[in-house]
């Protein structure tokens, strides 16, 4: 009995000398509850203050091994807001990578490191319970490789190595309803079939055929979404304004000083994406619409109906010091807009291949041709095919 009491006293002393950290300094935020090991679920419980708010925090590293996103399910009277640093919480700069599944259900990706803050708003001085769950959502590239995406394709991209007459023969032998030449010089063909099953059967047959280098489904690709708060552009000049390491940037300012006295020539940059909105002030005099092409709608004017292509083009070549938008990296770049992704940000492999070839052709008009795309497949295909 005496030993048990001594042990209890020692435990109590240890507990008082090493308290558990439950609040984030300077904010009064409480730590998120621990997730259930099996279900990866937990419940945020508390009482709204006199302003109708409650603040919580978590350290990203505690979740990254178990998932990629947190999902909150508030009721109709509650609002959940996320901030990706204490500084941004104090400045009320909301973490923009949201996906509102319903009016109350909110899901967002974890930042790579650091501390994030969750603010819940509701009725003043009332109790609340908000369930949340850690989920692992697959990256876009992995999703594209799954059968659920592949089975949508009823066309094949075929790389030939034999005689040019063989393409017609193989098209007929595999019962293709349509044949289209993607590029004659590279011997790239597109065979289209009535059904997905016929396309899959033809794929297996062509893979075993002499004179065929490779064959793949003309699947749909999805462009990566664009992030928010790019106006801060810490990548150009990192002063630690986003909580990162000061000086961890691309040395943009040093580069500008280095080339100030050097002769610079205009370089053509083909942006293979969703097209471009040439009406933006940042693009004044910087876009070669005459050299672009829209492979989605089959027309010359590659107009951006999604937004991502314009975003990428702005990073490359937006006009600087014009009191508008952002600063581009290359002050002498002219953009060739090539649209291979539609308004839903999806596009076929064959159109992406055509876009790369068109960009190569148009950029050859410059002494320093450059091509840009936001898609890993496109870069790989360009390397293998050109």
For 33-69, what is each residue's pLDDT tens digit?
Answer: 999 988 889 999 999 999 999 999 988 878 877 777 7
The model's confidence at residue 98, banded by pLDDT at 50, 70 and 90, is low
Per-domain residue ranges of the chain? 23-137, 154-218, 264-385
Rounded average pLDDT over 101-111: 59
- For residues 87-113, b (16+ Cβ closer than 10 Å) or e, as one string? ebbeeebbbebeeeeeebebbbebbee
Predicted TM-score of the model (pTM): 0.49
- Residue 116 contacts residue 29 (beta carbons within 8 Å): no
376-385 vs 349-363: helix crossing angle, rounded to 10: 60
**Which CATH number applies to 154-218?**
3.30.70.80
Rounded average pLDDT over 135-151: 43
- Residue 79 contacts residue 121 (beta carbons within 8 Å): yes
**Which CATH number applies to 23-137?**
2.60.120.380
For 272-319, what is each residue's pLDDT tens digit?
Answer: 999 998 877 678 888 999 999 999 999 999 999 988 998 899 889 888
CA distance 192 to 189: 10
For 337-383, what is each residue's pLDDT tens digit?
Answer: 999 999 888 999 999 999 999 999 998 865 444 555 443 333 333 33
Fold of 264-385: Rossmann fold (3.40.50)
Partnered with residue 130 across adjacent β-strands are 44
Residue 173 has pLDDT above 50, yes or no: yes
């Amino acid at each position: 009995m005496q030993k048990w009491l001594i042990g209890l006293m020692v435990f109590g002393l240890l507990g008082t000398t090493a308290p558990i950290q439950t609040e984030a300094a300077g904010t009064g935020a409480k730590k998120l509850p621990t997730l259930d090991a099996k279900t990866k679920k937990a419940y945020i419980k508390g009482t709204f203050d006199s302003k109708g708010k409650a603040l919580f925090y978590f350290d990203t590293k505690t979740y990254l091994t178990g998932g990629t996103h947190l999902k909150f399910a508030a009721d109709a009277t509650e609002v959940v807001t996320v901030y990706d640093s204490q500084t941004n919480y104090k400045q009320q700069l909301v973490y923009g990578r949201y996906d509102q599944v319903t009016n109350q259900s909110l899901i967002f990706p974890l930042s790579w490191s650091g501390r994030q803050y969750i603010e819940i708003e509701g009725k003043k001085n009332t109790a609340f319970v908000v369930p949340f769950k850690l989920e692992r959502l697959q990256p876009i590239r992995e999703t594209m490789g799954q059968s659920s995406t592949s089975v949508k394709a009823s066309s094949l991209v075929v790389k030939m190595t034999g005689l040019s007459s063989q393409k017609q023969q193989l098209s007929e032998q595999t019962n293709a309803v349509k044949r289209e030449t993607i590029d004659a010089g590279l011997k790239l063909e597109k065979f289209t079939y009535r059904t997905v099953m016929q396309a899959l059967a033809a794929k297996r047959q062509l893979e075993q055929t002499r004179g065929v280098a490779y064959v793949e489904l003309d699947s749909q690709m999805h462009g990566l979404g664009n992030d928010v708060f790019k106006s801060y552009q810490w990548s150009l000049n990192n002063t630690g304004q986003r909580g990162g390491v000061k000086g961890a940037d691309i040395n943009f300012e040093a580069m500008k000083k280095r080339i100030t006295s050097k002769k610079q020539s205009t370089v053509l940059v083909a942006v293979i994406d969703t097209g471009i909105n040439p009406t933006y002030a940042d693009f004044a005099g910087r876009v070669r619409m005459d050299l672009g092409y829209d492979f989605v709608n089959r027309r010359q004017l590659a107009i951006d109906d999604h937004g991502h292509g314009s975003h990428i083009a702005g990073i490359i070549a937006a006009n600087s010091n014009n009191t508008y938008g952002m600063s581009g990296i290359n002050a002498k770049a002219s953009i060739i807009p090539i649209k291979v992704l539609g308004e839903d940000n999806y596009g076929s492999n064959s159109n992406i291949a055509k876009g790369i070839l068109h960009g190569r052709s148009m950029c050859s008009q410059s002494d320093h041709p450059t091509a840009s795309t936001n898609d890993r497949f496109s870069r790989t295909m360009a390397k293998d095919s050109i």
